[in-house]
A and B are shown apart, each in its own frame.
Chain A
Amino acid sequence: MDTERFDAIVVGAGPAGSAAALTMARAGLSVVLFERGEYPGAKNVMGGVMYGRMLGDVVGEAAAQAPMERRIVEERLWMATPSSAVSVGYRSAAHGAHTPDGAAGSAAPNAFTVLRAQFDRWFAARAEAAGALLITGTTVEDVIRRDGRVVGVRAGREGGDVYGDVVVICDGVNSFLAQKAGLQRRPVEPSEMALAVKEIIGLPREVINERFAVSDEEGVTIEVYGSVTQGMAGYGFIYTNRESLSVGIGALISHLMRTKITPYALLDGFKQHPLVARLITGGQPQEYSAHAIPEGGYEAMPNLFGDGVLIAGDAAMMVNGLHREGSNLAMTAGRLAGETVIEAKRRGDLSAAALAGYRDRLEQSFVLADLRKYRALPALADRRPELMAIYPQLVNEAVEEMLTVDGLSKRAKQKKIWRRLRAQRSLWQIMKDGYAGWKAIR
């Protein structure tokens, strides 16, 4: 292997890496795909929701064969206090059945749950089937540079130097290779990273169907904001799998450092919330997991390309925390990185100037458009976590007041709610909070 050359070296067989490898291999490029886990997915964790359109854009009709757990037919958002929650949700018979007509990914549902140890393995196998060489159990430790240009990687094994025309870095959150390739612009702050913990809780299929009012293939997502994060910025989630629930919660590392709340105590507290406990009761914990989630957004992204190098996925901070999206950004970026390399190879130029087209492609896609849209949100979440506790509490109180039939007139109830709101927040503060929130997501 030490003397072998590839058109492209991809590091990391997650959604970004496998998408890049598959795209390039299908176009006839020689591609090697490194994975440090014993199999793709062995090191990878996410809440569990993936999106059909972006998968279809990469694998086409094969998207229908992906190892899906359940397709999402209902999404709920809870704003919780310790004993209650205001719930909003969307459910439709057609929702989630297919991506919009004409899309390459119409074979796959809009959104579906996955278990990454299974999904990533399947996805990397598609890249292999397209001709990429998958090497597992191998950690890439460094990039090889010559005259400032990335020309290969150093893998942690004997004769581990591998050369290629381009290296696509998809080694995940807190990317070591981004630093080594000189792409990282500045150190990432603990306020730009969340830590999430999760448990897979096994339950019989029929029990899940009954508790969530779904049939075998249908699934539900629940995101929970408010008291469950104990004053930190973050949220809890419950996602349905075929015969288990993914139950987890995350918070910014800066807030975990300050509060000294352990992630596992946070998870246990979430599981003991009366509304959550009812859904998971009787379940068998099957696996605990934890992972950092890049939440710094647009402002914290590294340079996306250099001489002979591109970066995609978590390694490039491509997560839209507000919409719990990430794997779809990663897949799209991986595909666009692959397409950029294909075109650059055709022109015989893999310099930074030639690879700059990658950024243009991302700019034209939802990836950078969405990340730019929410660029102010991470800083707001870090600075003002109390907003995520105060307003859910107030909304719960207001709803409870309106739903309590006690002889008080509705107008009197409105006044009471308004007084309670004003006792906690001045009109000026409410306007300021609203403006800050609007500015961060407009």
Chain B
Amino acid sequence: MSAEPAPPPLGGTIEEKLYSVQYRHDKQSHISITHGDTCLERCGEEWGRPCTTFCPAKVYEWDGEKIAISYENCVECTSCLLGCPYRVIDWRLPRGGYGVHYRFG
């Protein structure tokens, strides 16, 4: 074994990681926010909008006014069903056959 290991593979960005995931994209989103005013008025102050950090596929981003949803990134881990402190994320199962499509899993 060499003394100095080479840098580990893909310490890279989440964008690079998501590039390795296969999807079949639906035209319609399976995710919406039911009460956007909660994200604006309460969550920023009380919780720091955790969906923007715990989501492993960076689906949720704060654009200054609202949570922008990149539903096509979603890997259907279902964490946001519990991780939204106010449970205002309306996440549904993608329509049959759509969404993430793991080759290894």
Using a CB–CB cutoff of 8 Å, the interface residues on chain A facing chain B are 36-38, 41-46, 115-118, 120, 136-139, 141, 155-157, 173-174, 176, 188-190, 192-193, 195, 197, 199-201, 244, 253, 256-258, 260-264, 268, 271-272, 274, 276-278, 280-292
Query: In the bound complex, what is the Cα–Cα distance between A271 and B11 (angstroms)?
Result: 8
Nearest Cβ on chain B to A10's Cβ, whole angstroms: 16
Pair count A-B, CB < 8 A: 164
B11 with A272: CB separation less than 8 A? yes
Told that A116-B105, A280-B9, A288-B21 touch, could you supply 12 new A-B pairs with CB distance under 8 A? Answer: A36-B96, A42-B101, A116-B104, A136-B97, A173-B78, A257-B83, A260-B50, A262-B56, A264-B14, A274-B5, A284-B9, A292-B78
B20 with A36: CB separation less than 8 A? no
CB-CB under 8 A for A268 and B1, given A193-B79, A262-B53, A288-B20 = no
Query: In the bound complex, what is the Cα–Cα distance between A335 and B24 (angstroms)?
Result: 32
Nearest Cβ on chain B to A442's Cβ, whole angstroms: 29
Nearest opposing residue in chain B for A114, CB measure: B105
- Complex contacts, B101 vs chain A, CB 8 Å: 37-38, 42
Query: In the bound complex, what is the Cα–Cα distance between A197 and B18 (angstroms)?
Result: 12
Query: In the bound complex, what is the Cα–Cα distance between A244 and B20 (angstroms)?
Result: 15
| Main DSSP-derived SS at the B contact region | loop
Query: In the bound complex, what is the Cα–Cα distance between A192 and B81 (angstroms)?
Result: 12
A195 with B77: CB separation less than 8 A? yes
B54 with A256: CB separation less than 8 A? yes
Number of interface residues of B (CB under 8 A): 43
Nearest Cβ on chain A to B5's Cβ, whole angstroms: 4
Nearest Cβ on chain A to B92's Cβ, whole angstroms: 8
CB-CB under 8 A for A281 and B8, given A45-B102, A264-B17, A290-B56 = yes
- Complex contacts, A174 vs chain B, CB 8 Å: 78, 81-82
Query: In the bound complex, what is the Cα–Cα distance between A15 and B105 (angstroms)?
Result: 14
A44 with B8: CB separation less than 8 A? no
6 A-B residue pairs with Cβ-Cβ distance under 8 Å, sorted by A, are A42-B100, A117-B105, A261-B53, A276-B8, A281-B6, A286-B20
